Structure 1
Amino acid sequence: MLNSSIIEVAIGLSFCYATLALMVSTVQEALASALHLRAHTLLDGIKSMLNDPHFTGLARDLYSHALINPHDDGQALNQHALKHKPSYIQPLHFAIALTDAIGRTPGHSGRLGDDIAAVGDVQLRRALQGLYVRAGGDMQQFQDGVAGWFDSAMARVSGEYKRRSLLISLLLTLLLTVLFNIDTVHLLKTLWQQPALAAQITAAPAALDRQSIDLLFALPIGWSHFPPAFDRAFLLQVAGWLITAASALFGAPFWFSTLQRFMQLRGTGAKPAEAEAPTLARPEPTRGGWGAGT
């Protein structure tokens, strides 16, 4: 069985990382919604897929289609004139809209081969002709092929979006880590010396609510004076910030799951005595705090 002090320290660290990761996720989702990051990423991916970087050809025609952009009037001459940008497009709807955008007579499958041959971009024309030949001229099979092509292209776009999101998460995590002075080295030292601090965490809130914030503030984090002195201790503090940021990037689900496991381990052993349970008012750590002087 693990030493009870080790379990209490692990509980405190896991809860801190989980709450920080949850805060980052909440802020990131708010930014993505406010800035329409998914919609812009999807638009850039379609422009790249259709070789229409200036949004003057098939990409513009596609976004004017009611299946793709039903909330727009279909009159936009450039992407800045779009009144609405969808965040998600069904592959079949993309295939139908692209077929209509290519065809001079939408829905007329008999001249689709001629319409594809008239596409101006060489690379796009070759791709569409290859799909058309494999479909044997059948409209449904051609649209199924276009839908599969769209899925493959969007998989690459999703990968790019995830890499971009990871970078944003890292920057937000570092920002919040420094803002709240969540130093893993100091946190580890204080929790090891005062393991009863982590005993206050009797539940693992899975949402960012007042309870989780109160519990987070009960831990030895925060600033007692700012700016810090730029000495050897500050270098150790920076190392603690980096460890915190790197750990929080594992995500809230990972840390909440880890926290629950440590809570179960603590439940199988001797519980801390009532006399050892601290109040919500934090004892004075050697550094950090949320009181006066912040």
Structure 2
Amino acid sequence: MLNSSVLEVAIGLSFCYASLALIVSTVQEALASALHLRAHTLLDGIKTMLNDPRFNGMARALYSHALINPHDDGQAGQQDALKHKPSYIEPLHFAIALIDTIGRVPGNIDKLGQDIDTLRDPQLRRALQGIYLRANGNFTEFEDGVAAWFDSAMARVSGEYKRRSMLVSVLLSLLLTVLFNIDSIHLFKVLWQHPALAAQIAAVPTAADRATIDLMFSLPIGWQTFPPAFDGSFLLQVAGWLITTSSSLFGAPFWFSTLQKIMQLRGTGAKPDEQRPLSGPRGVRRTWNDYAEGGR
């Protein structure tokens, strides 16, 4: 098996990037939970969808519905008065709540069409009229149409949330990279000159625990002198920071998977009891294609 300096350096870099991405994702999830970012993003998406930016029309009525916001008392007159904000809404529940809010006669599809025609907001009225016409008088199809409309709108909200999360991830990664001076170029040079440093990584950690942090600080990172001298070498250091920061965009699962694959290449193969026998039943010899295709 391969056991070269290239693999040792790859192990060290992959572990560093995986640990950094894991810490960034953990901090980001903690911030999202503490600041209720998902709930606020969902509310903003529904306000945009229903063309109610001031939260004084259909969005406020929906958030007073028990299916949408069961933990609130339904008496909030403005957005800041909401005691609870859901982080997720079932599409069918959204459709039922919207129909209950619009319709004056429950279950009457004809009367519902008339109620839609009396909506004040032209954008919302046109959207619901289109769904109503395509339902062709079928109440269930109208519910499904509203649920599909909600799904489509939430897909756009989800995309926006992911873009914001990526930006936060990059900023957190940059902050940690500069704080701990995780310079990829310097890290590569030291690991190339001293490949035995990567031998300390005996297992792939699965959480941002103490062992992960200890292993990470066994790598050549951190500040030797601070503040740094602002010369030509500092520009090279900034380039190393940017490389490290960009690595977090791939995410921790990618780097841990890469690290595991490199560790397998670095190893000596499977144990004897884990290797497949060279002969099949009744002494029939297996070919390489059989093993490649997963046959037993």
Structure 2-normalised TM-score? 0.89
Query: C-alpha distance in 1, partners of 2:107/2:101?
Result: 10
The question of whether the paired residues in 2 share the 8 Å contact of 1:100 and 1:107 is answered with no
The question of whether the paired residues in 2 share the 8 Å contact of 1:113 and 1:137 is answered with no
> 2:211 is matched by which residue type in structure 1?
Q
Post-superposition CA distance 1:119-177 (Å, at most 9, x none): 11111101101111111122211111000000000001000000010000000000000
Post-superposition CA distance 1:258-291 (Å, at most 9, x none): 000111111038xxxxxxxxxxxxxxxxxxxxxx
How far is 1:63 from its partner?
0.4
The question of whether the paired residues in 2 share the 8 Å contact of 1:182 and 1:241 is answered with yes
Query: C-alpha distance in 2, partners of 1:231/1:124?
Result: 59
Match in the other structure for 1:277: none
How far is 1:109 from its partner?
3.4
Match in the other structure for 1:38: 38
Query: C-alpha distance in 1, partners of 2:227/2:102?
Result: 62
The question of whether the paired residues in 1 share the 8 Å contact of 2:169 and 2:248 is answered with no
Match in the other structure for 1:80: 80
Post-superposition CA distance 1:232-259 (Å, at most 9, x none): 1111100000000111221100000000
The question of whether the paired residues in 1 share the 8 Å contact of 2:21 and 2:173 is answered with yes
Equivalent residue of 2:67, what SS?
A: coil
> 2:121 is matched by which residue type in structure 1?
D
How far is 1:3 from its partner?
5.6
> 1:46 is matched by which residue type in structure 2?
I
CA RMSD of aligned residues (A): 1.2
Which piece of structure 1 moves more, 199-208 or 106-115?
Answer: 106-115
The question of whether the paired residues in 1 share the 8 Å contact of 2:95 and 2:144 is answered with yes
The question of whether the paired residues in 1 share the 8 Å contact of 2:135 and 2:141 is answered with yes
Query: C-alpha distance in 1, partners of 2:182/2:258?
Result: 19
How far is 1:103 from its partner?
1.4
Match in the other structure for 1:252: 252
Structure 1 gap segments, 5+ residues each: 270-294
Post-superposition CA distance 1:31-77 (Å, at most 9, x none): 00011110011000000000001001100000000000000000001
Which piece of structure 1 moves more, 103-112 or 32-41?
Answer: 103-112
The question of whether the paired residues in 2 share the 8 Å contact of 1:91 and 1:147 is answered with yes
Query: C-alpha distance in 2, partners of 1:55/1:93?
Result: 20
Matched residue pairs, number?
269
Structure 1 residue 57 corresponds to structure 2 residue 26: no
Match in the other structure for 1:98: 98
Query: C-alpha distance in 2, partners of 1:249/1:124?
Result: 38
Match in the other structure for 2:273: none
Match in the other structure for 1:158: 158
Match in the other structure for 1:262: 262
Structure 1-normalised TM-score? 0.89
- How has the CA–CA distance of structure 1 residues 60 and 106 changed in structure 2, closer, same or farther, with 3 Å as cutoff? farther
Query: C-alpha distance in 1, partners of 2:9/2:62?
Result: 56
**Shift >6 Å, 4+ stretches:** none
Match in the other structure for 1:232: 232
Equivalent residue of 1:249, what SS?
A: helix
Query: C-alpha distance in 2, partners of 1:119/1:93?
Result: 21
Which piece of structure 1 moves more, 114-123 or 18-27?
Answer: 114-123
The question of whether the paired residues in 2 share the 8 Å contact of 1:14 and 1:256 is answered with yes
Match in the other structure for 2:279: none
Match in the other structure for 1:131: 131
Query: C-alpha distance in 2, partners of 1:17/1:206?
Result: 13
The question of whether the paired residues in 1 share the 8 Å contact of 2:2 and 2:266 is answered with no
Query: C-alpha distance in 2, partners of 1:200/1:138?
Result: 66
The question of whether the paired residues in 1 share the 8 Å contact of 2:3 and 2:266 is answered with no
